[in-house]
Amino acid sequence: MPLKRDINMFVSKETLLVCKQVQGLWKTKNQNMAYLCNEVKVLKDKFLSFQITHVLREYNSEADAQANLAINLRAGQVEEDCK
């Protein structure tokens, strides 16, 4: 499905470093992160608007718990929690 220019994209991220790098406010020294950051910069231009904001960890506990569970999944593995 192609990205549509009439979509407004809002991203919340726990990592302040990534937020600042995507915004172009901080340098990206790690080569892998620089590549990913450039990918985001290319993709964000495909949206009508793009906003990335930092969320403090104490306000992001559910996402943090899900990320910790995902770390243990094999590549391509999907696990659904139907609670």
Q: What is the pLDDT along the chain (83 residues), one digit of tens a residue?
A: 555 567 777 777 778 888 899 888 999 999 998 999 999 988 888 888 888 888 887 777 777 777 777 788 887 777 776 55
> Are the beta carbons of 21 and 33 closer than 8 angstroms?
yes
Among candidate residues 19, 12, 21, the one with its CA nearest the CA of residue 67: 12
Predicted TM-score (pTM) above 0.75: no
Instruction: Give the position of tokens 């937020």.
Output: 19
Rounded CA separation 29/3 (Å): 29
What domains sit in the chain, N to C, each tagged with a CATH number? 8-71 (3.30.420.10)
